[in-house]
Amino acid sequence: MHDGLQPAAWHELFVATATAAAALLGLIFVAISLHMREIETRPTLRLRARLNLQALGSVLTVSLAALLPGQGPRWLGVELLAISFAYLGLVAVGCLRTAREIHGLPADVRFRVLLQNSVLILQVAASVSLMTGRGPGLYLEAPMVLLALPVTIFNAWNIVFARELREP
């Protein structure tokens, strides 16, 4: 069995991503609290903040699941699949609530949500690979957790300095 199918071989990566995700979650909470009124009154900005928190929460959850001691690849695959579906459900709920509130999501918001969450396909593929004991396994998960961090940093910047906050 190669490293992609051995969760223990990925210990350091998941420790690092869990630490980074937890730190970024705290920073985003601070950014949101600095602009609480503005975020409350602007549904698309609130959705952006929500999706950022959910993405970092997902990275943190995936990392912690991968760090469970003595866990085999099959169970980790099941956990990653469950995390994927839970995350997608939360994204869908947030988007639907925002769409109802503003009578449809603008095209740029739909595009950003789709683009940001398209890497989730890799997590589902990693889950299947781990559960079947074939294929690249966690090598498919690595881009998901590694891309989520810079994307959420960029999005955090866009929450603090959102164009919606500059408009009267």
How do residues 146-156 score in pLDDT, each as one tens digit? 888 898 888 88
Structure tokens at 44: 């698309």
Q: 67: burial class by Cβ within 10 Å (0-12, 13-18, 19+)?
A: middle
Q: 104: burial class by Cβ within 10 Å (0-12, 13-18, 19+)?
A: exposed
How do residues 69-83 score in pLDDT, each as one tens digit? 989 999 999 999 999
Domain count, the chain: 1
Give yes or no for residue 165 having a pLDDT over 80.
no
Domain range enclosing 116: 3-166
pLDDT at 83: 97
Residue 117 dihedral angles phi and psi, to the nearest 5°: -100, 0
- Average pLDDT for the chain: 91
Per-residue confidence band for 167, with pLDDT thresholds at 50, 70 and 90: low
Cβ-count burial 139-160 (b if 16+ within 10 Å, e if not): bbbbebbbebbebbbebbebbe
Per-residue confidence band for 163, with pLDDT thresholds at 50, 70 and 90: confident
Give yes or no for residue 168 having a pLDDT over 70.
no
How do residues 90-143 score in pLDDT, each as one tens digit? 999 999 999 999 999 999 889 989 988 888 999 999 999 999 999 999 999 999
**Start-to-end C-alpha separation, the chain:** 59
| Planar angle of CA 85, 44, 118, nearest 5 degrees | 35
Phi-psi region of 105 (alpha: psi -120 to 50; beta: other; left: phi over 0): beta
Which of helix, strand or coil describes residue 103? coil
